[in-house]
Amino acid sequence: MSIKIKVEKEYDNYKTLKRIKNRVIASSYKLEGLPYFMEVNGKTISQFKMSSGECMLISLLDFINNKVMRKNYKQADRLLIFIDEVELALHPSAIARLVDFLNKLSAEHDVAVYFSTHSAEIIRRILPRRIYQIENIQGNIIVNTPAYPSYVIRDLYAPDGFDYMILVEDVLAKQIVEKVLREENMRNSRLIFVEPCGDWYNNLRLHRDMKDNSILGFGKKIISIIDGDVEDKVKEKKEFDALPKTFLPINSLEKYIYKKIISEQDTNFIKYFGDKFFHVRSIKNIINDYKSNYDYLRDKNGKKLYDILMSNLYEIGIQEGDFVKIFCDDLYQMVDFSKFKKRLEKMLM
């Protein structure tokens, strides 16, 4: 039986992959289980003679073929797939293709896939809100989510020649800062690298560690840009006083949307938001469902509302990254960034 899963370019390498049909036939050849075999240049190679990476990948795809594609599990249940340290067996390029494949599988078949990993290649390809970082801090186990790749793997770096590293909290902040740099020509005669690295405390802690350990090397400057709603909290942390930093004129993406839709019930914003992004199911209907099914008054950080909005966008083919980019361009016209531009320009002098 030939395996039916196509993993992009990898599939071409496994067109001759076959498996013993059943255990009776396998037993007649004194084989345990039902191993795969592959024809290569007229010769037959056993799965167990292949590399550890190929052997692992074939076993994983066999499981997916049997469980997911054939629906060989109770449909009332949600299938969970746990994969432990896949990077030990696979080449980084193969890992990247596997993660992309499993992301697609998860979306199309409602399958939950969890990696336990230390691989930068895997971590960088997963959305921050889907990363759960487990830390042991003096015996206390802490789970951080969302967790940004650069903070999680602690190998944040700028390529040789960058003059400035700007640390921001999330992808919206990155889009805004990139747009300001572009619109105001602040990149002239300087190379600037912008990277999201998590909430304000993790941002500043990483900034301090990079500065203290001279990670970027001599003559490089690090700047932190923090969401505007935590300015008072930052000022209370005296250990961060000496770090170059400034604040955006808005809160986080989730908080901003929650504020406009729920707290302020801004009818102009709600109309714009619905007309711009929700052409199938109305934004009014989505908001009503959210209020009916969740304790929306306690969702102060707006994360539940945001997740629901993203879920509805995904159903009509709009990816989160595309939404953030489009919304950022519009937000730039809605909010006064003039003071922020002046502060940032001064810090880049």
Domain coordinates in residue numbering, the chain? 8-123, 162-248, 253-318
pLDDT higher at 107 or 281: 281
User: Which pLDDT belongs to residue 67?
Assistant: 78
**How would you list the strands of the sheet with 36-40, edge to edge?**
17-19, 36-40, 43-46
Confidence of residue 307 (pLDDT cuts 50, 70, 90): very high
Inter-CA distances, 251 with 102, 223, 230, 265, 303, Å: 33, 18, 8, 17, 13
223: left (phi over 0), alpha (psi -120 to 50) or beta: beta
Given a cut of 70, whether residue 6 has pLDDT beyond it is: no
Q: Where are the alpha helices (DSSP H) in 74-212?
A: 92-109, 120-123, 149-153, 171-183, 200-212
User: Do the domains at 8-123 and 162-248 have one common CATH topology?
Assistant: yes
Question: Which percentage of the chain shows pLDDT scores above 70?
Answer: 91
User: Which pLDDT belongs to residue 321?
Assistant: 87
* Cβ(149)–Cβ(128) below 8 Å: yes
Per-residue pLDDT reduced to its tens digit, 116-170? 888 888 888 888 888 898 888 888 898 888 887 777 776 444 445 578 899 999 8
Domain with residues 162-248, CATH architecture: 3-Layer(aba) Sandwich (3.40)
Task: Specify burial of residue 72 (Cβ count, 10 A radius: 0-12, 13-18, 19+).
Answer: exposed
Per-residue pLDDT reduced to its tens digit, 175-201? 999 999 999 999 887 888 998 988 899
* Cβ(36)–Cβ(48) below 8 Å: no
Shortest CA distance to 278 belongs to which of 261, 263, 295?
A: 261
* Cβ(301)–Cβ(213) below 8 Å: no
User: Which pLDDT belongs to residue 101?
Assistant: 87
User: Which pLDDT belongs to residue 7?
Assistant: 40
Q: What is the mean pLDDT of residues 57-84?
A: 76
SS3 37: strand
Sign of torsion, CA 258 262 267 273? Answer: positive
Q: What is the CA radius of gyration of the chain?
A: 25
Task: Specify burial of residue 254 (Cβ count, 10 A radius: 0-12, 13-18, 19+).
Answer: buried
d(CA 85, CA 77): 25
d(CA 150, CA 215): 13
Per-residue pLDDT reduced to its tens digit, 251-260? 888 999 999 9
Per-residue pLDDT reduced to its tens digit, 314-345? 889 898 889 999 999 999 889 999 999 999 99
Per-residue pLDDT reduced to its tens digit, 202-258? 899 999 988 888 777 777 899 999 999 899 999 999 999 999 999 999 888 899 999
Dihedral in degrees, nearest 10, Cα atoms 4, 5, 11, 17:
-40
Sign of torsion, CA 294 300 302 304? Answer: negative
Provide the pairing of β-strand 192-196 with 221-226.
unpaired
Domain 8-123 has CATH 3.40.640.10: no
